[in-house]
A and B are shown apart, each in its own frame.
Chain A
C-alpha cells in the first residue's frame, strides 16, 4: 500500500471575527491591539449579575455570510450555552448556537486542478470570541486580557468535501474573499480575525466509510494549514499501515517542529452540556428582513469574474486573479473606468503590484493608492507621456508615498522625451560609439537593436520614448545619411 492508495478527507470549521463596532453582547469597542482590559465592562468581564444583549449587526452580518454562501436562513433561531472552564472564558460558558444555527445547507464553488468543485457548508452560527492569555517569559505566570472576550464571531462549518491541502486552501481563500466582498470581516489571519479548526481523516480509496478524524484547532495561516494537513494525513496513513488505530482527538499543530501533538487529557472527555441560553430572547427572522439583506449584498466574486471575462475581455487567469481579492477587484474596476484599458490594468495588478506586495510582505488591503491613481498611470503610458519603465518606477513610488502619478512625474522630472530632434542627437551619439552593433544587426542579429535602445534608455534615464527610439535607430542603421 502507498500514500496513493489513500484519500484524504478534510473539513474546516472557520472562525471569522465580524467587523462590528461593538462586541456581540455588550457595547464595548472591538478595536484590535488596545491596552489589556481597556475594552471591557462588567458584562464582558462576566461580573455577577450582568446580562447579555445581542448586537443587531451580528445577526445582519451572519445572514449576509449565509446568503453569500448559498445557505438557507433559519426563520427561528436561538442561542445556547457551551459550558467549559478556561481562563480566557470569563463566564465559564461560551454563548454560541447549538441546534438552530442562523444559516445552514449552503455551498461555495472552488477552483481545483480538475475544474470547479462544489464544497458544502453545513452551517454558519454566531458566537462570542474568548479573551487572550499572555504567557510571561520569566515564568511569573499567565496574564488574562479580556479585550477580545465577546468579540463577535461566525463559525462556518464545511462538509467533509475537501480532498487535498490545495482544495482546503482554495476553499479558505474563497471564503475569505467572499467575506471581504460583503464587508463583514477584515479577515486578517495574522491578527487572528480569521482562523480555522481543521478536521482530517484518511480512508482507502474506494471505501465509502469515513475514517476517524482528528482536529487541529485555531490555525491562522494558509501555510500552517497546508503543512498540517499534509503532516497529519501522512501520520494517519502511517499509523494505519502499521496496523494502528486513529483516535478521535484534538491535536495541536506546532509550526516550528512541523508536527502535531495530542492536546487534551484523554481521561477527561469534554462534555459541554449545551442548553438554551435563558438570558437571550429567540431570534425570528422574517422573509422581508432576509430579502432586504439580500438586496444589500454587493456583487460577489463569481459574478464579477463573469463580467470581467465577457465584458472586459480578460483572460480566465486574469479574471480569477483580480477577483480573488475584493481589494484587487475594486482597484481594477476603478482604474479601468479611468483609463478604459482593463487588460493593461489587470496586467499591472498580476505582475508588478503583486510582486511589490510580495516584496513588502503586504496584502492587497494594505495598498494605499486608489484605483483612480492606478488608472491615471495606465493612461499616461497609453498616451505616451511615460514609458512603462518609468511607470514601474512611479508605481514603486506610489507604494511608498501614495500620490497622483502626474505629481510624481513632475516632482521627479520623469516626463518622457518624445522630441525627435533631441532623441536623434542621442541616437547618433550611440551609433557612433557602437559600430560593431550596426554590423551585427545587418548580419541578422536582431538583439543588437535591443542593446542600442538599452544604451539610449540608460543615457536618458529611461525617459526616451521607446517607439521613437526604435524608429530612429532603424533609420540610422539602414539609412545611409548618418553612417559613413
Chain B
C-alpha cells in the first residue's frame, strides 16, 4: 500500500508512532501528483518546495523530541479561493491569475498553528461559479472515475485531488453545493458546516451570506479531525458565531439507534435519476436496520430554493466582484486611454462568461425597479425556507436526500445551457439558504461506474449528529473498500 492511499488519520498514526516521516508522505504525494495530475488537472499551482521544507522541519522537531501537534507534518490541498500569504490565489480566474495574497485566511492560520502545510492550490470554477469546474479560466478538471466526465464543482479540484489520492484531504468552499456536489461526483466525503462555524476571513467571497469553508476527506473520521481545526470563533469575521469549541471526534460513534431521520418526498421523486433514488432509498433502509426511525416528510418550499438562490447569490456576487477593477491588484488591460477603459476592458477581458453572466444577473435583480420583485422577494422566501427547516428539525434529528440528481456528466455536456447547469444544484442550495450543515457521503455506483452519494442535513450547529450518523453508515458499508476510481475514459 502506498502512503498516498491512506487517510489523514492513518498517516497521523504512522507519523506520530515514528513509523514514517513527513518527508516520505510529502514526496509520496508529489510523485503521485506528477503521475496523475496531467490527466486530472486538479491543481492550479503546487507548493512543493515550501511543503518539503516544512516536512523536513517537522521531522527534525519530532526527532529532537520537541512537543508537536498530532497534525504536524500532514499536508493538505487548498481550494484556490482561500488566501495563503505569499502564494498565488487565482480563484480560477484570469483576473487574479498573478495575484499573490499578502495575508493568510484564518483557516490557513489554524492549519499553520498545527504545523500542517499545503500541497498546492486546487482548481475551481471561476470565483466558485459553477458545478463542473469547467468554468476555470485555466483548464477543466477531470473526474478520476471517468476522464471524459466532470468532477462537479465548484470545488472540483479539491474533490478530484482527494479521490485520485493526490491529497489526503482538502479544503473547499460551498455556496450552493460546491463542496458536497463534487464530493458526490468523485465519491469522497464532503462536509459543509453551519454558516458561521468556520471563519470566512480570507475566503474570496462569492455570495457572502451563503459561503462557507468546509472539508473534503476520504472518510468521516478525517472530516471530524479537520473540522476540529477549522471550526471556531474568529473576531475577523462578523458572521462567525462565538460558541464553545467542540471535539467532533467524540461523535465518531457507531450507533444511530433512536435517531429520527426524515426523507423529504420532493427529493426522491421527479427530477431525480432512478439509480440515484434507488441508492439513496437503500441508505434509508440501512439506517432503519441499524436502529434509526425513517419517515417520509415534506419540504415543499424547497422547490423554490433554486430561484431564490440564484437571485440572492448573484446579487451579492455582482457587488463582491466590483473590487476587481484593475487598479490595486489583478489583471489590467493593455488597451486603455482612460479610466473607463481600464475598468471595462480589464473586467471584460479578465472575467469569464459565467462570471459576467452572474454579475449581470445580480446587477439586474438589485437594480431600481426590480429590487422588490426579485431580491427582496427572494429574501422573504429565505425566511420561509428557514421556517420550514425549523419545523422539520423539531421532528427529525436528520434529513436524508440525494446530493446531486444525477451522477457525473460529460465535459461540455451542459456548459452551453446555464439554466440546466443551475438545476443540478437542486438538492444542495436550500441547505446554504438555511445556513444548516450538510454532508455528502458516497453510497454506491451507477451502471456507468460513477459514484452516487447521499446527503445528511441537521439543524444549525448539528454537525455532531451528522458525523455520528455518517460514521455509523461508513462502519457498516465502506464505499472506499468496495470501489476505486478507474482513471479511464468513457466507453
Contacts and interface: CB of A to CB of B under 8 A. Distances in A.
Q: Do A and B interact directly, with beta carbons closer than 8 Å?
A: yes
B96 A278 contact: no
Contacts of B339: 87, 142
A148 interface: no
A53 B103 contact: no
B235 interface: yes
Contacts of B202: 49-50
A273 B324 CA distance: 18
A49 B101 contact: yes
A252 interface: no
A48 interface: yes
A85 B343 contact: yes
A281 interface: yes
Contacts of A50: 103, 201-202
A343 interface: no
B316 A278 contact: yes
A274 B89 CA distance: 29
Nearest to B81: A49
A49 B238 contact: no
Q: Which of B209, B235, B237, B327 has the most CB of A within 10 A?
A: B327
A337 to B, nearest CB: 45
Interface string A69-105: 0000000000001010101001111000000000000
Interface string A138-152: 000010100000000
B110 interface: no
Q: Which of A45, A85, A91, A93 has the most CB of B within 10 A?
A: A85
A53 B204 contact: no
Nearest to B82: A49
Contacts of A51: 200-201, 236-238
B323 A273 contact: no
A271 B328 CA distance: 24
B102 A85 contact: no
B91 A48 contact: yes
Contact of B238 (A47, A53, A83): A53
A275 B202 CA distance: 22
B205 interface: yes
Nearest to B205: A49
Contacts of B200: 51
A87 B328 CA distance: 9
A54 B238 contact: yes
**SS of B interface (majority):** loop
Interface in A141-166: 142, 144
A273 B367 contact: yes
B203 to A, nearest CB: 6
A91 B205 contact: no
Interface in B220-278: 235-239
Contacts of A46: 323, 328
A91 B99 contact: no
A87 B105 CA distance: 26
Nearest to A83: B319
A279 interface: yes
B64 interface: no
Contacts of B102: 42, 47
A280 interface: yes
A42 B103 CA distance: 8
B238 A279 contact: yes
Given A48-B204, A90-B323, A91-B322, A275 B315 contact: yes
B319 A93 contact: yes
Nearest to A281: B238
Interface string B191-217: 000000000111111011100000000
A91 B201 CA distance: 16
Contacts of A91: 322-323
Given A90-B328, A275-B315, A53 B323 contact: no
A277 to B, nearest CB: 8
A281 B239 contact: yes
A273 B99 contact: no
A275 B375 CA distance: 9
B169 to A, nearest CB: 21
Contacts of B375: 275
A364 interface: no
Contacts of A93: 319, 322
A52 interface: yes
B397 interface: no
Interface string B303-335: 000000000000110110011110111000000
Contacts of A144: 327-328
A83 B207 CA distance: 15
B352 to A, nearest CB: 16
B235 A49 contact: no
Interface in B92-135: 96, 99, 101-103, 105
Nearest to A79: B238
B328 A83 contact: no
B101 A47 contact: yes
Interface string A245-288: 00000000000000000000000000101110011110000000
Given A91-B322, A273-B318, A279-B208, 11 more contacts: A48-B323, A49-B82, A51-B200, A54-B238, A83-B319, A87-B339, A142-B339, A271-B368, A275-B315, A278-B207, A281-B239
25 contacts: A47-B328, A47-B329, A48-B89, A48-B91, A48-B329, A50-B201, A51-B200, A51-B236, A51-B238, A53-B237, A81-B319, A83-B318, A85-B343, A87-B339, A90-B323, A91-B322, A92-B319, A144-B328, A271-B367, A271-B368, A273-B319, A273-B366, A273-B367, A275-B366, A278-B239
The 8 A-B residue pairs with the shortest CB-CB distance in the complex, in nearest-first order: A92-B322, A278-B209, A273-B366, A278-B208, A48-B204, A49-B202, A49-B204, A46-B323
Interface of A: 42, 45-54, 81, 83, 85, 87, 90-93, 142, 144, 271, 273-275, 278-281
